Amino acid sequence: MELQEILETTGTCRFYARESVPAATLVRVLDAARYAPSGGNRHPVRLVAVRDPDKRRQLAAWYLPLWKAYLKNVRAALPAAGSVPKLLANADHFAEHLAEVPVLIVVCAVLSDLYATDRGLGRLSIVGGASVYPAVQNLLLKAREEGLGTA
């Protein structure tokens, strides 16, 4: 697959096949993240691939109440923002079935390794995320190249 096609077709996937992801494929996807730039070349990103069904169910149990609270707020704002019911229905389906996704990748960051030039401003750092987002983008693009969906 050519890069342009990957860029044009990497979207959010809310419906997943239940087939297992081969280990070699998963390694290639995870490995792509390490080539991303990061502030101060510190590479704070850590990735955890979760295949175990019990752990996926636990992650889903933690995620779902937060999603439902967010969804309630979004629905309350819909009259002002315009209706997007299909997008919300698809996202809600994803949340309800999160534990069924064959592998979940949890993106973490070592906060002390974030090169955040906006620390000490009395708010959460915005700049620090710039050391995380490129790694995630690499992961998403590589997953697409490998034929995997991502959200």
**pTM across the whole model:** 0.86
Q: Give 126's pLDDT tier (boundaries 50, 70, 90).
A: confident
pLDDT at position 143, please? Answer: 97
| Side chain identity, residue 115 | Y
Task: Tell which wins on pLDDT, 75 or 71.
Answer: 71
Residue 72 pLDDT exceeds 70: yes
pLDDT at position 80, please? Answer: 66
Residue 81 pLDDT exceeds 80: no
CB of 119 within 8 A of CB of 112?
no
CB of 108 within 8 A of CB of 48?
yes
Tokens representing 144 are 């697409």
| Side chain identity, residue 68 | K
Tokens representing 83 are 């209706």
Task: Count other Cβ atoms within 10 Å, centred on residue 80.
Answer: 6
Q: How large is the C-alpha radius of gyration of the chain?
A: 17
Q: Give 92's pLDDT tier (boundaries 50, 70, 90).
A: very high
Task: Tell which wins on pLDDT, 97 or 87.
Answer: 97
Task: Tell which wins on pLDDT, 49 or 151.
Answer: 49
Q: Which residues pair with 45 in a beta bridge?
A: 109
Q: What is the pLDDT of residues 104-117, one digit of tens each?
A: 999 999 988 988 88
pLDDT, mean of residues 34-62: 96
What are the residues whose beta carbons fall under 8 Å from the beta carbon of 6, sequence distance 6 or more?
141, 144, 145
pLDDT, mean of residues 2-30: 94
Task: Tell which wins on pLDDT, 144 or 78.
Answer: 144
Residue 139 pLDDT exceeds 80: yes
